[in-house]
A and B are shown apart, each in its own frame.
Chain A
Amino acid sequence: MRRIVVHLSIGILMVCVALAMQGCPCPPEDEEPTAEMAAMGETDALTGEDIALTDPPEEVIYIEPTTPEFETIYFEFDQYRIRGADEMSLGRIASYLREHQDVRVMIEGHCDERGTNEYNMALGEQRALAARRYLIGLGVTAARLSTISYGEERPIDHGSSEEAWATNRRDEFTVSQ
């Protein structure tokens, strides 16, 4: 029996919602979600594809992803203050956590390459802690939120341009345990 399995990506849906409400909160070089959206069409999250009639699918199953893709948030140079543009992203993470009480989140803080290696490790932690404090403020239990700093060690964009730096100054959120 052949099955078509469609994985709904919360991350992609969230970006779509964010786009509709306030424009893209991400830096322009954060192409991944928008590229996928382009492939799916501008308005619909799901799209169809022609398949050979000789082998029709007998069943279509929709599976809600077990691992949500939380949105990355970004920071100004040398800052760890949460930007207004990212408050909705954090709000959505908080609401997901309210609905999934068994989920714990690891917050990874990252920096661009411009500070010293050493001090960036502390700055990355401050970025992670800033998001943690914000989520606690939205009612998430502190024990469900861990932090780790990678300083400037794990850039998304290895370039040395303003765009690359903006992409790299970020918090990433992943489900832990």
Chain B
Amino acid sequence: MQRSRTRNVAGAALVLALLAAALPGPATSQVRLSITKGFGEKVIVAIPLFRGGRGTLVNAEDVRTVLRFDLETSGYFSAVENLQFVDEVEADDRLTGRIDFVEWNALGAEVVVKGEITGDLENFSIEASVHDLAQGQGIMARRYSGKPRQWRAAVHSLADDIVRQLTGEPGIATSKIAFVSDVTGVKQLYVMDYDGENQTRVVKDDLMSMYPDWFSDKDRLVYTRFRGSRQEVYVVRTTTGEQARLTSFPGLNAFVAVSPRGNEYLMTLSRDGNPEIYRLASDGSDPRRLTFNKSTESSPRWSPDGRRVAFVSDRAGSPQIYIMSASGGTAERVTYQGSYNTSPDWSPKGDLIAYTARVEGVFQIHTVDVNTKEVVRLTTGGGHKEDPSWAPDGRHLVYSVRSGGKSDLTMLDIYELEPLQLTSGGGDYLSPAWTP
């Protein structure tokens, strides 16, 4: 997949005006794939080149490349490799005006995604249909329309719809990742597509910014900003850059986590003389202290149901991951291996907490099962890996990897463990936060 560093200058361009419309036909939205897949088994998908595209600014080969990347990255699909055969069968289908399920099956395909690109220089539409080749029936058909700069977003939407339709799981192709980069010389807030494309700077000033976290609207971010000699928390709308201050307490104003419902925050403050965890109302007022220890309490993250908090404490002599009620009270320690476990993030599925652990001097990404306390190490090799953040599918993580004196962001499927580097811009890429 190409990783062009194209910056989408107009942040507003990220507001999608995509029209996804169900097309008339035999497809219904309830139909799922007839094949039942075991754990780790993939659906084999054939993606013939979409028809049309002439006279538009959308390239059919690019569409196929992105769609294939999206479907394969989801973890549920494997694309038929031989594109020449795929396109030959598609050519025969077009001649006969029907779908030759036998020929498609002969390629090993279980589903085929067909499509057509229409439009002009101002607007485009991609009509796509998905067919279950074992049953010989359509599964879904949709049209995606927009401005030329939105073609990638349209393909991402198609991919997510296919994933949801066939697996019942949320896709991640339309998700975004906020992060911090110092490519301008100062750590600044950026947002990019989940595949590393469309990196866009959110706030255009020269103040150091860190620790972004998303609201559930996937538009607003909360983050810590160093203004004067203060840490302050701001809420910024990523599509417009407009922002407002949320907190400016003495000392730490860090690691803000927006509640799943978006109406409360958890954060670390030192206003009472020690780093402790506080719960704040939606306007940043009324900080309610949840921890009471002489130790360092830090990095709170909500459980997906909003009832519990994962956080870091060194109350036992070294930083470890704990969980407690979101109302405070007794905390339960969940990590016991190693002497440096930090940066928890609670899976949207609720079962796992990802975190950073120091192993033989190198930070590696781990998960711990909230119930069984089983620890799984996900990364190996040199280069510190820090700050994991879960994708909305509860299957992928993004984190920073330090190598050659700089950090880049990497995505990992926790079942397949093949890291995919998302950034390579020189300078540090840190503190990733995946949209919920």
Contacts and interface: CB of A to CB of B under 8 A. Distances in A.
A133 B229 contact: no
Contact of B211 (A118, A125, A146): A118
A147 B340 contact: no
A127 to B, nearest CB: 11
Interface residues on chain B, size class: 20 to 34
Interface residues of A, number: 24
Interface in A79-123: 106, 108, 115-119, 121-123
B275 A122 contact: yes
B343 interface: yes
Contact of B387 (A116, A128, A133): A116
Contacts of A106: 229
Given A122-B268, A148-B231, A148-B251, A116 B208 contact: no
Nearest to B187: A153
Question: Which one of A106, A121, A133, A147 has the highest number of Cβ atoms from chain B below 10 Å of its Cβ?
Answer: A121
B273 A122 contact: no
B363 interface: yes
Contacts of A141: none
A167 interface: no
Given A116-B342, A116-B343, A146-B229, A121 B254 contact: yes
A25 B431 CA distance: 36
Contacts of B274: 126, 129
Contacts of B254: 121-122, 149
A176 interface: yes
B252 A133 contact: no
A74 to B, nearest CB: 19
Pick the most buried of A118, A125, A148, A174: most chain B CB atoms within 10 A of its CB.
A118
Interface in A122-157: 122-123, 125-126, 128-129, 132-133, 146-150, 153
Nearest to B299: A118
The interface centre, meaning the residue of A129, A133, A148 with most chain B CB atoms within 10 A of its CB, is A148
Most buried by B among A106, A115, A116, A121: A116
Given A125-B251, A129-B251, A148-B229, A118 B273 contact: no
B95 to A, nearest CB: 59
Interface in A2-49: none
A77 to B, nearest CB: 12
Given A117-B430, A119-B342, A147 B299 contact: no
B230 interface: yes
Contact of A122 (B250, B252, B386, B430): B252
Nearest to B400: A117
B312 interface: yes
A150 B230 CA distance: 10
A164 B432 CA distance: 27
B340 A115 contact: yes
Given A108-B229, A119-B298, A125 B343 contact: no
A118 B343 CA distance: 7
A174 B231 CA distance: 16
A117 B251 contact: no
A174 B228 CA distance: 13
B386 to A, nearest CB: 5
A116 B270 CA distance: 19
Given A116-B356, A119-B342, A148-B231, A125 B386 contact: no
Given A126-B274, A147-B250, 15 more contacts: A116-B340, A116-B342, A116-B356, A117-B400, A119-B342, A121-B255, A122-B252, A122-B254, A122-B296, A122-B312, A146-B250, A147-B251, A148-B251, A149-B252, A153-B187
Interface of A: 106, 108, 115-119, 121-123, 125-126, 128-129, 132-133, 146-150, 153, 174, 176
13 contacts: A116-B342, A116-B343, A118-B431, A119-B312, A119-B342, A119-B343, A122-B296, A122-B298, A125-B275, A126-B296, A128-B251, A132-B273, A148-B251
